[in-house]
Amino acid sequence: MSITGSKPAADERGHTGRPEDKPSFGTGRGELLVAVVLYALAVFLTVGTISMNVQGTAAPGPQFFPVLVCVLLYGVATALTIQVLRSRSIPDTRKHPGRGNFSPDMLRDLARLPEERAKAGSPESWRTYSDWKTVGMVVGGVAVFTAALNILGWILSAAFLFWIICRALGSKRPGFDAGVSLLFASAIQLAFNAGLGLNLPAGFLGGLL
C-alpha cells in the first residue's frame, strides 16, 4: 500500500552500481539555496523597512508588520540552514505525495495505512536530481521571448517560445512543431485582437504590413 504511487525500485542493487564517492560539502545540501533566498528576502525587507519614507503618524505605522515578517523570515531561514546542515537529503529519492503541502505521515495515520519504508538507493543513473539542460532550455526560451517580444512581435516570439519548449521537452519533429507553433501563436493573436480587443505587440512585422 503506497500513498506515493511510486513503483517498486526496478533494480534493488542500485546502490552497489557506483563506487561511493567521498561526499563534498554541497552534496545533498542543495536546499541551502532556499535558505539563501530567504535570507536575501529578509535583508531586502530590513533595508526597505529602515529606509522607509514613512507618511502619517498613526501607530502602529507601515513599518510595524514588515518587522514581524522580517523576524519570521530570519527565524525560518536560520532553522532551515541548521536542518540542512545537520542532515543531508541523500539518497534524494523520497517521494512527496502532497508536494510538501501535506504531511504524508498525518494522511497515512488518518487512513490507517501502514508505515512506508523509504526505498534506499535509486535505479536511475543520473548524476544530478534535476535535468539542468532541459530546465536551462526552457528558462532560456522564456527569457528570450520576454526580451524579444517588443522587437519581433507576438507571433514570432510566441511561436519561438512554443517551439523551443517542445524541443526541450523531447519532441522529435522540429519541422512539424514549427508549423504548430506558428499556427498557435497566430490563432491567439487573431482571437485577442478581434475577439477581446487586446493589442499584442506586432513588432517589426507591423511596420511591413
DSSP state of 28: T
Minimal distance, residue 78 CB to other proteins, in Å: 10
Minimal distance, residue 205 CB to other proteins, in Å: 17
Residue 175: alpha-carbon gap to chain centroid: 29
Minimal distance, residue 42 CB to other proteins, in Å: 8
**Closer CB to other proteins, 132 or 205, in the complex:** 132
Minimal distance, residue 89 CB to other proteins, in Å: 8
**Closer CB to other proteins, 101 or 175, in the complex:** 101
**Cβ partners under 8 Å of residue 55, min gap 6:** 62
Q: End-to-end alpha-carbon separation of the chain, Å?
A: 63
DSSP state of 196: I
Contact between 141 and 159 (Cβ < 8 Å)? no
